[in-house]
Amino acid sequence: MWTREQLKNNDKINMQRNYWSCVAVAFIMSIIEGASAAGGARSGSQNAMSDGSYVYDGHHMYDAGSLPTVFTTVFIAIIAVIFIIAILFNFFVGNVLRIGANSFFIRNRTEMVRTGTIFDGFRSGHYGNIVIAMFLRDLYTMLWTFLLIIPGIIKSIEYMMVPYILAENPGMDQREAFAISRRMMDGEKMNTFVLELSFIGWYLVAAVTCGLAGIFYVQPYYEATIAELYAYNKEKAFHEGYIQ
């Protein structure tokens, strides 16, 4: 049975051996995933023209509600386009880069790896399979989260190993990848949830340092830790005989 201390000690050793490449890959992924999340978020701002307030142009006072609504329509259309582009970017680019990043951190455990490994998903010859499998993972997680928050968390942990499995087996059938991930996480969900919670303090440190600690330590530290978890689960799967 793995422990948090064991995983974190191992990943610290791996990070030190190839530190700057780990930082670069984690930083790229934080930008990609952050941009996708920001683009998909709803805007909380409201146009002042819609609340019955007044606008003064220097000579006259106008009822804001009487101003043309074309600006509001254009604004909504722009937000919708950004939202759609962010979703498509995540499906066709972000998720594929995620596979490459996972491949980097898996291989970094045993060898010196180049930062360019992050593009392995595009070079694997199985781009379409990766896109579909990752789309299904995101879709299933989202649907479970819409049902209830707790089932969504459980399913996100259950599917956590899918990108790592695909990183090493990009041509694997999606159903098989999901089935293996579920078996890998069987009996590991609570421990993995606690492992995730153990990084909250580090994320607060990253916030206090305006993201600097996140770039140079916290994010690569987290990525390397989850790669260590996958390595443990993979070894367990070999011993139990459901992968060869």
Residue 60 confidence (pLDDT) above 70: no
The secondary structure element, H or E, covering residue 61 is strand 61-63
Helix, strand counts (H, E) of the chain: 13, 2
Average pLDDT over residues 68-83: 85
pLDDT of residue 49: 39
pLDDT of residue 41: 54
The predicted-structure confidence for 134-187, as pLDDT tens digits, reads as follows 999 999 999 999 888 898 999 999 999 999 999 999 999 999 999 999 999 999
Residue with the bigger pLDDT between 11 and 37: it is: 11
> 41-55, 71-85, 86-100 — which one is most confidently predicted on average?
86-100
Nearest to 3 by CA among 228, 237, 241, 239: 228
Band the pLDDT of 216: cuts 50, 70, 90.
very high
pLDDT of residue 147: 83
pLDDT of residue 68: 62
- 162, 207 Cβ separation under 8 angstroms: no
Average pLDDT over residues 88-113: 96
Distances (CA, A) of 81 to 40, 43, 61, 85: 10, 13, 34, 6
Triad 57, 48, 50: Cα angle to 5°: 110
